[in-house]
Amino acid sequence: SFTYQVANRQALAILKQTAEHLRSYKADHAGLALQEYSWLTPQNGRYSQVQIQDREQFVGKFFEIPP
């Protein structure tokens, strides 16, 4: 058996291609992730205090979407 693994920006590219086929809360999650995730995630992985706060707000909004 085989598995296919993607991460980071590659995962966002695949999500962008498949988001239009999602339904219910998954479509809402995908839309929010595509809008804000890249902006909130620095490529070097180092977060400033402001970025940490913004990311925590994003995570809160993400999980507030009801299933």
Q: For residue 2, is it within any domain?
A: no
47 lies in a domain?
yes
State the pLDDT at residue 38: 86
What is the pTM (predicted TM-score) of this model? 0.78
What is the amino acid identity at position 13? A
Q: Is residue 1 part of a domain?
A: no
- Give a yes or no: residue 16 inside a domain: yes
Sequence-distant (≥ 6) Cβ neighbours of residue 58 within 8 angstroms: 32, 36, 37, 40
pLDDT in tens, the chain (67 residues): 889 889 888 999 999 999 999 999 999 999 999 999 888 888 888 999 999 999 999 999 999 999 9
Domain enclosing residue 50, as ranges = 8-64
> Does 24 fall in a domain?
yes
Check residue 20 and give its pLDDT.
Answer: 94
The answer as to whether 3 is a domain residue is no
**Domains: count for the chain:** 1
Strand segments (E) across the chain:
none
